[in-house]
């Protein structure tokens, strides 16, 4: 029995979903806890998902729900003394959590790469954009600087930087926000990574530039067949780009499934809340938005039972106060579609069709 | 510097009756030819070598009880406009009138009464509150500044304000860091409301907030408006939020208003190509639509620099309908339909204003490659130049007198393969 199968059968406490045999990336029961002066921060607490080549997984959730920590965990970037990482991360058949950190480092930038909301966090201000792309390329390819420079120019051109022959010698601050984001994408993609993780890559950008960047990611993915994880708090962005969706709340997965089903038949009150909170250009304007009451919990004192219970209007529907005492597990609510809520399937279907959907 | 000292309008409108959709109120604020040029200085002598034309000639009114939304890409001058009308910045040119009084160049003393009537809410709930002051001190600051003693005392009034914005009045003595982002934005709102203002200018009031909290604050602003009869100018880059909150909307591009219209007209039939492009870029939270994004317009590059903006129509470097006249002649902002002003020679959804120009600029041809065929077909109906380009046999009426194309912006729900024509149009 492979580790993956074992994970699926035994150790996975919170996620009944079986692993996808064709997945390029398979994450099982990932937990990342930080020991801090204030207490144990359970930033990621039992997250599982799969991404196939050529497909995009969208991860959504409010700020502080553990999206970035999840992605850094996949990249093997939480190896500090105060971080406790458990679970399994399978990349193309290789498990990374237990792997030698040096092996994981060699995969970074080549097999998997990441782009961030703030390009300046991954680009050095004192080196030209070209020099940084050249460096990223030569770490993994034994080629001359000249060859690498040609490759850098080619990548800048590919991501739509005008006059790449000249711009290759510019410094990051000489680029506009959108151009820097493109340059960072060029750098992340210079080694044709098979997994690309994009952490809120368009959050700071105008919608017009966002549309350009999403288009670019989509095109590059089509060309190279990479697996993509798109992290965002914008449901519009995931609807545009994601095949599958993972909704996170307080470090935990609350709903997961094909994007179409999660949007058409969401089965978790938090997902309903997100949908009700947003004004939508594609619908008649509603009189009032339907916000989620309160605000997200501290990850040091996650509420007992269902972490969403203090904000959930339906917390009293499940019997015996179970919502406040027992942590709900992800259960299957549709084809490849799971949600973690104590309400029965019938209760959720009824609330969605009668109370929520008509108001959206 | 104005001679008109008289303030003839009643002190405070009775807001209860002034809610959304009650039609046009009288103007509370009127702006004419408003400009702000930030000088660029260079060298030892700090000689002025140029100027950032952040706001470059705005004309608009804000009517009593309404919400005017302002949208546009970053760098278009929205914040500068907000700071000009609240007189946090001194205009370079033009005129600002509040309740009929010219306030363009009022000094500190002259502005004092106005500081009560006009308030501003800022985007960043973190940096706009002094971390060393308690909430009580922050919310009561306007009373001190104005030398006002509210009825029942400052503390009682602050507590009342806190409960009005949905905060616990007992939290009077807490510090900003003890509150979440949404709560801090509420504190900013409470402070803005302290002096019972008539006009509140909110610059990106919800953009820093998570969507669930955003909705709470949007609803709060809405409630306060109907309860207190407030007039709002809400600046935001999120077009869905702007549609939700606004009665009328101004679209800004490079220091100018390019379209100003009633909310419904604007969203149903935008007339400025830039408005249309902005709207098409908004991601729609419905995965079924990604397969059929037929309204798509991808704009190339960024907003040009406001230091040397493009000649003629400032949008001509990115517009797929641009012809020679667009490069040479600036289109005036005209009311082409009742309630819809637009500055464009070849507007969408309306007859061509420069039908003699039948040849697209080469930049426009390039821009058109990033525009969905359906959109081009619509544009062809209102522009002979686009029609010639897409090779559509423009119907006889198309030149000059084209009727607005019957637009049906809703794509079908047909589950088409996502491998669409997009690839072609963006590949070089
Ligand atoms: N190195 C760390 N030490 C302690 N807590 C951390 C660390 N990194 C992140 N966290 C906490 O983990 C939680 C989840 O953070 P994050 O993944 O960044 O959220 P998101 O990306 O969803 O906004 C937050 O409460 C954050 O403060
Ligand atoms: N104090 C200033 N000095 C010089 N330039 C400024 C100043 N404030 C804003 N600008 C410039 O004016 C233009 C418009 O800015 P802003 O009003 O902030 O736009 P928006 O709010 O639409 O993003 C930008 O190019 C900006 O860099
Ligand atoms: S488990 Fe209870 S609190 Fe949690 S989402 Fe379901 S109903 Fe709401
Ligand atoms: S058609 Fe001409 S005037 Fe109208 S927006 Fe385009 S460039 Fe400007
Ligand atoms: Mg994050
Ligand atoms: Mg601004």
Tell me, letter by letter, the H, E, C secondary structure of A53-92.
CCCEEEEECCCCCCHHHHHHHHCCCCCCCCEEEEEEEEEC
User: Tell me, what's the pLDDT at B409?
Assistant: 43
Q: Enter the tokens of residue B177.
A: 């860091």
Residue B378 has pLDDT above 60, yes or no: yes
Task: Please state, for a pLDDT cut of 70, what percent of chain B lies above it.
Answer: 85
Strands (DSSP E) contained in chain A are: 25-36, 39-51, 56-60, 83-91, 94-95, 112-115, 195-199, 227-232, 244-249, 252-258, 331-334, 337-339
CB B109 within 8 A of CB B233: no
Domains within chain B, CATH numbers bracketed: 2-41+48-246 (3.40.50.300), 295-337+344-427 (no CATH)
Say which residue the tokens 């399994």 belong to.
A88
Task: Give me the long-range contacts of A154-160 (CB less than 8 A, separation at least 24).
Answer: A155/A186, A155/A187, A155/A189, A155/A190, A156/A129, A156/A130, A156/A182, A156/A183, A156/A186, A157/B428, A158/A186, A158/A189, A158/A220, A159/A183, A159/A185, A159/A186, A159/A189, A159/A216, A159/A220, A160/A212, A160/A216
Closest protein CA for atom 2 of ligand 2: B38
Closest listed residue to residue B348, CA positions, set B407, B391, B394, B305: B407
Stretch among B11-15, B35-39, B277-281, B353-357 having the lowest mean pLDDT: B11-15
* Antiparallel, parallel or unpaired: β A337-339 and A252-258: antiparallel
**C-alpha of residue B166 to centroid of ligand 6, in Å:** 27
Which atom of ligand 3 is nearest to A314's Cα? Answer: 7
Q: Name A58's Cβ contacts closer than 8 Å, sequence gap at least 6.
A: A229, A230, A231, A232, A237, A238, A241, A242, A244, A245, A246, A259
Chain A residue closest to B277 (CA)?
Answer: A208
Q: Mean pLDDT over residues B145-159, rounded? A: 90
Higher pLDDT residue, A334 or B402?
Answer: A334
Stretch among A128-137, B111-120, B393-402 having the lowest mean pLDDT: B393-402
Say which residue the tokens 């402070």 belong to.
B191
Residue A303 has pLDDT above 80, yes or no: yes
Tell me, yes or no, whether A324 lies in a domain: yes
* Confidence band, pLDDT 50/70/90 cuts, at residue B25: confident
Q: Mean pLDDT over residues A176-188, rounded? A: 90
Higher pLDDT residue, A258 or A8?
Answer: A258
**C-alpha of residue A300 to centroid of ligand 3, in Å:** 20
Ligand nearest to the CA of A269: 3
User: Tell me, what's the pLDDT at A128?
Assistant: 96
Angle (nearest 5°) at CA B346 between B343 and B350: 90
Please tell me if the CB atom of residue B277 comes closer than 6 angstroms to any atom of ligand 4: no
Tell me, yes or no, whether A105 lies in a domain: no
Residue B401 has pLDDT above 80, yes or no: no
User: Tell me, what's the pLDDT at A16?
Assistant: 55
**C-alpha of residue B97 to centroid of ligand 6, in Å:** 23
* Nearest-neighbour CA in chain B from A162: distance (Å): 9
Q: How many CA atoms lie within 13 A of B213 on its CB side?
A: 22
Q: Name B214's Cβ contacts closer than 8 Å, sequence gap at least 6.
A: A277, A291, B182, B206, B241
**C-alpha of residue A328 to centroid of ligand 3, in Å:** 8
Range of the domain at A303: 272-359
Say which residue the tokens 């005492």 belong to.
A325
Residue B407 has pLDDT above 60, yes or no: no
Tell me, yes or no, whether A143 lies in a domain: no
Taking the CA atoms of chain B, what radius of gyration do you get in angstroms? 24
Q: Name A161's Cβ contacts closer than 8 Å, sequence gap at least 6.
A: A167, A179, A182, A183, A186
Q: Do B212 and A290 touch (CB under 8 A)?
A: no
Among B212, B214, B242, B270, pick the best mutation site for testing chain A contact (most A Cβ within 10 A). Answer: B212
Tell me, yes or no, whether A278 lies in a domain: yes
* Nearest-neighbour CA in chain A from B90: distance (Å): 28
A194-223 pLDDT, tens per residue?
A: 999 999 999 888 899 899 889 889 988 998
A317-341 pLDDT, tens per residue?
A: 999 999 999 999 999 999 999 999 9
Q: Mean pLDDT over residues A188-198, rounded? A: 94
User: Tell me, what's the pLDDT at B291?
Assistant: 59
Q: Which of A37, A41, A307 to mutate to test the pocket of ligand 1 (most atoms within 8 A of CB)?
A: A41
Which strands form A227-232's sheet, in the order they lie side by side?
Answer: A112-115, A195-199, A227-232, A56-60, A244-249, A252-258, A337-339, A331-334
* Confidence band, pLDDT 50/70/90 cuts, at residue A136: very high
Chain A residues with CB inside 8 Å of B298's CB? 208, 211-212, 215
B204-238 pLDDT, tens per residue?
A: 999 888 888 899 999 999 999 999 999 999 999 89
Please tell me if the CB atom of residue B188 comes closer than 6 angstroms to any atom of ligand 2: no
Summary mean pLDDT of chain B? 85
Residue A14 has pLDDT above 70, yes or no: no
Please tell me if the CB atom of residue B273 comes closer than 6 angstroms to any atom of ligand 4: yes
Higher pLDDT residue, B84 or B394?
Answer: B84
Chain A residue closest to B246 (CA)?
Answer: A285
**C-alpha of residue A67 to centroid of ligand 1, in Å:** 8
Identity of the residue in A178, A234, A289 whose CB atom sits nearest the CB atom of B218: A289
Tell me, yes or no, whether A355 lies in a domain: yes
Which atom of ligand 1 is nearest to A231's Cα? Answer: 21
Which atom of ligand 4 is nearest to B313's Cα? Answer: 8
Q: Mean pLDDT over residues B293-312, rounded? A: 89
Q: Do B211 and A277 touch (CB under 8 A)?
A: yes
Q: Do B284 and A281 touch (CB under 8 A)?
A: yes
Residue B46 has pLDDT above 70, yes or no: yes
B247-292 pLDDT, tens per residue?
A: 999 999 999 999 999 999 999 999 999 999 999 999 999 988 765 6
Tell me, yes or no, whether A37 lies in a domain: no
Which atom of ligand 4 is nearest to B272's Cα? Answer: 5
What is the number of domains present in chain A?
A: 1
CB A295 within 8 A of CB B213: yes
Tell me, yes or no, whether A313 lies in a domain: yes
Number of residues in chain A: 360
Whole-angstrom CA distances from B400 to B38, B321, B347, B358 are 41, 15, 12, 10
Which strands form B47-63's sheet, in the order they lie side by side?
Answer: B47-63, B27-42, B93-98, B101-102
Q: Do B282 and A207 touch (CB under 8 A)?
A: yes
B104-146 pLDDT, tens per residue?
A: 998 888 888 888 999 999 887 677 889 999 999 999 999 988 8
* CA–CA separation, B349 and B245 (whole Å): 24
Residue B302 has pLDDT above 80, yes or no: yes
* 3-class DSSP assignment, residue A219: helix
Ligand nearest to the CA of A59: 1
CB A179 within 8 A of CB A206: no
A58-85 pLDDT, tens per residue?
A: 999 998 999 999 999 999 988 788 999 9
Q: Which of A42, A64, A231 to mutate to test the pocket of ligand 1 (most atoms within 8 A of CB)?
A: A64
* 3-class DSSP assignment, residue A249: strand
User: Tell me, what's the pLDDT at A340?
Assistant: 98
User: Tell me, what's the pLDDT at B181?
Assistant: 85
User: Tell me, what's the pLDDT at B24?
Assistant: 57
Q: Mean pLDDT over residues B373-398, rounded? A: 79
- Dihedral angle, C-alpha A315, A321, A326, A331, nearest 10 °: -50
User: Tell me, what's the pLDDT at B8?
Assistant: 37
User: Tell me, what's the pLDDT at B146?
Assistant: 87
Task: Give me the long-range contacts of B161-169 (CB less than 8 A, separation at least 24).
Answer: B161/B190, B161/B193, B161/B194, B162/B135, B162/B187, B162/B190, B164/B190, B164/B193, B164/B224, B165/B189, B165/B190, B165/B193, B165/B220, B165/B224, B166/B216, B166/B220, B167/B135
ipTM of the complex: 0.89
A262-287 pLDDT, tens per residue?
A: 999 999 999 999 999 999 888 888 88
Q: Mean pLDDT over residues A342-360, rounded? A: 95
User: Tell me, what's the pLDDT at A3?
Assistant: 43
Summary mean pLDDT of chain A? 91
User: Tell me, what's the pLDDT at B1?
Assistant: 40
Taking the CA atoms of chain A, what radius of gyration do you get in angstroms? 21
User: Tell me, what's the pLDDT at B293?
Assistant: 65
Residue B415 has pLDDT above 60, yes or no: no
Tell me, yes or no, whether A354 lies in a domain: yes
* Confidence band, pLDDT 50/70/90 cuts, at residue B412: very low
A231-246 pLDDT, tens per residue?
A: 999 999 999 999 999 9
User: Tell me, what's the pLDDT at B292?
Assistant: 61
Chain B residues with CB inside 8 Å of A209's CB? 73, 302
* Nearest-neighbour CA in chain B from A93: distance (Å): 29
CB B121 within 8 A of CB B220: no
Q: Mean pLDDT over residues B386-401, rounded? A: 60
* CA–CA separation, A329 and A277 (whole Å): 25
């Amino acid at each position: 029995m492979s580790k993956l199968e074992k994970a699926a059968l035994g150790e996975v406490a919170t996620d009944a979903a079986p692993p996808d045999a064709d997945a390029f990336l398979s994450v099982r029961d990932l937990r990342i806890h930080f020991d801090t002066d204030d207490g144990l921060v359970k930033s990621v607490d039992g997250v599982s998902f799969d991404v196939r080549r050529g497909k995009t997984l969208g991860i959504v959730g409010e700020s502080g729900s553990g999206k970035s920590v999840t992605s850094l965990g996949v990249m093997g970037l939480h190896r500090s003394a105060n971080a406790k990482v458990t679970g399994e991360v399978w990349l193309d058949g290789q498990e990374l959590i237990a792997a030698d950190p040096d092996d994981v480092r060699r995969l970074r930038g080549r097999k998997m790469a990441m782009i961030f909301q703030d390009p300046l966090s991954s680009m050095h201000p004192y080196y030209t954009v070209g020099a940084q792309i050249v460096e990223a390329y030569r770490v993994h390819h034994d080629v001359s600087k000249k060859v690498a420079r040609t490759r850098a120019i080619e990548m800048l051109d590919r991501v739509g930087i005008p006059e790449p022959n000249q711009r290759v010698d510019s410094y990051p601050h000489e680029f506009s926000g959108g151009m820097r984001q493109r340059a960072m994408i060029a750098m992340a993609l210079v080694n044709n990574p098979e997994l690309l993780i994009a952490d809120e890559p368009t959050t700071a950008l105008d919608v017009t530039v966002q549309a350009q960047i999403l288009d670019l990611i989509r095109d590059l993915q089509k060309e190279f067949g990479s697996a993509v994880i798109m992290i965002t708090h914008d449901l519009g962005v995931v609807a545009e780009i994601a095949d599958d969706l993972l909704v996170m709340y307080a470090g935990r997965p609350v709903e997961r499934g094909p994007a179409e089903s999660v949007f058409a038949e969401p089965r978790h009150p938090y997902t309903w809340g997100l949908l009700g909170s947003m004004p939508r250009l594609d619908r008649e304007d509603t009189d009032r938005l339907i916000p989620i009451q309160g605000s997200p919990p501290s990850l040091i004192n996650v509420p007992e039972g269902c972490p969403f219970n203090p904000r959930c209007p339906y917390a009293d529907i499940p019997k015996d106060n179970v919502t406040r005492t027992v942590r709900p597990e992800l259960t299957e609510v549709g084809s490849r579609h799971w949600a973690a809520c104590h309400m029965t399937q019938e209760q959720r279907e009824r609330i969605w069709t009668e109370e929520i959907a008509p108001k959206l | 510097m104005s001679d008109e000292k008289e303030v003839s309008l009643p002190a405070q409108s009775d807001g209860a009756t002034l809610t959304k959709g009650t039609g046009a109120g009288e103007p509370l604020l009127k702006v004419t030819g408003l400009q702000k040029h930030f000088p660029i200085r260079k060298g030892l002598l700090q000689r002025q070598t140029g100027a950032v034309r952040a706001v470059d000639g705005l004309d608009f009114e804000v009517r009593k009880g309404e919400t005017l939304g302002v949208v546009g890409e970053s760098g278009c001058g929205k914040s500068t406009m907000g700071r000009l009308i609240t007189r946090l910045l001194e205009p370079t040119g033009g005129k600002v009138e509040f309740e009929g009084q010219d306030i363009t160049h009022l000094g500190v003393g002259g502005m004092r009464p106005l500081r009560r009537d006009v308030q501003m809410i800022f985007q960043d709930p973190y940096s706009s509150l002094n971390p060393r002051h308690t909430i009580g001190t922050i919310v009561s600051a306007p009373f001190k500044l104005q030398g006002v003693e509210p009825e029942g005392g400052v503390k009682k009034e602050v507590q009342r304000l806190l409960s009005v914005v949905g905060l616990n009045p007992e939290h009077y003595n807490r510090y900003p860091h003890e509150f979440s982002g949404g709560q801090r934005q509420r504190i900013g709102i409470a402070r803005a409301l302290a002096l019972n203002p008539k006009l509140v200018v909110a610059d990106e009031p919800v953009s820093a907030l998570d969507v669930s909290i955003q909705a709470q604050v949007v609803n709060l602003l809405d409630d306060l408006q109907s309860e207190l009869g407030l007039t709002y100018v809400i600046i935001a880059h999120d077009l869905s939020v702007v549609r939700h909150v606004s009665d009328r909307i101004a679209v800004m591009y490079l220091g100018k208003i390019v379209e100003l219209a009633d909310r419904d007209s604007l969203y149903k039939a935008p007339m400025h190509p830039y408005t249309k492009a902005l709207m098409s870029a908004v991601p729609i939270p419905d995965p079924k639509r990604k397969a059929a994004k037929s309204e798509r317009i991808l704009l190339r590059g960024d907003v040009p620099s406001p230091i040397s903006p493009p000649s003629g129509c400032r949008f001509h470097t990115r517009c797929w309908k641009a012809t020679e006249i667009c490069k040479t002649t600036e289109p005036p902002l005209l009311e082409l339909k009742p309630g819809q002003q637009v500055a464009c020679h070849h507007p969408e959804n309306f007859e061509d204003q420069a039908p003699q120009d039948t040849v697209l600029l080469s930049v426009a041809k390039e821009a058109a490659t990033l525009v969905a065929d359906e959109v081009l077909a619509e544009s062809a109906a209102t522009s002979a130049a686009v029609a010639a380009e897409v090779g559509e046999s423009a119907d006889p009426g198309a030149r000059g007198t084209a009727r607005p194309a019957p637009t049906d912006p809703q794509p079908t729900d047909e589950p088409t393969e996502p491998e669409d024509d997009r690839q072609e149009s963006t590949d070089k």
